[in-house]
Structures are given as structure tokens and as C-alpha cells.
């Protein structure tokens, strides 16, 4: 989902957390901002996303180089 937002934003390395919240709401999954940060923090921790969360600015800042590493795509049971 984050990758789709990234691609739809012309590969902008900054994605506002309210934008992510809006997409979740559009998909019928109301989610609170703290939950979004938790999900993103786990994706970053598991190396599925390269970047960091700017909490005060409410922005996910992605790496300019390879924000979605291919080596993270492995056996799904390893990421759980």
C-alpha cells in the first residue's frame, strides 16, 4: 500500500501520514494516526521500507535510493 502511494505521488520521498490515513479510510479501514506510525515503524524495522518517520511533521520520509528493497522480499514467514 505504501509503495502504491509512493508511486502515485510521482515517487515523492515524503508522504504525509494523513494521506496514508485517507487511503486506509477509502479502503474501508478506519485507522488512527498512532496505528499508522506503529505499522510504518514495523515496516521500517523489518527492512520492508527504508526511511524514517518525522513525528512532529507527520511525514514518512523514504530513502531516495531504493526505498522498497528487493532483498526484503523473502519467505513471508520470516517477516512475521
Nearest Cα neighbor of 32 from 44, 17, 46 is 17
Contacts 24+ apart (CB under 8 A), 71-77: 71/47, 72/46, 72/47, 72/48
Using an 8 Å Cβ cutoff, are 20 and 32 in contact?
Answer: no
pLDDT for 52: 93
pLDDT for 34: 92
Output the CA–CA distances (angstroms, integers) from residue 3 to 11, 13, 49, 56, in the order listed.
Answer: 9, 11, 9, 22
Q: What is the pLDDT along the chain (80 residues), one digit of tens a residue?
A: 666 666 666 667 888 999 889 888 898 988 998 999 999 999 889 888 889 999 899 999 988 888 877 755 555 555 44
Amino acid at each position: 500500500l505504501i509503495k502504491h502511494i509512493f508511486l502515485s505521488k510521482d515517487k515523492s520521498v515524503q508522504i504525509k501520514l494523513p494521506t496514508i490515513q485517507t487511503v486506509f479510510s477509502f479502503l474501508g479501514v478506519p485507522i488512527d494516526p498512532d496505528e499508522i506510525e506503529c505499522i510504518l515503524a514495523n515496516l521500517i524495522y523489518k527492512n520492508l521500507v527504508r526511511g524514517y518517520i518525522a513525528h512532529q511533521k507527520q511525514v514518512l520520509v523514504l530513502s531516495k535510493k531504493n526505498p522498497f528493497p528487493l532483498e526484503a522480499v523473502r519467505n513471508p514467514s520470516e517477516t512475521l
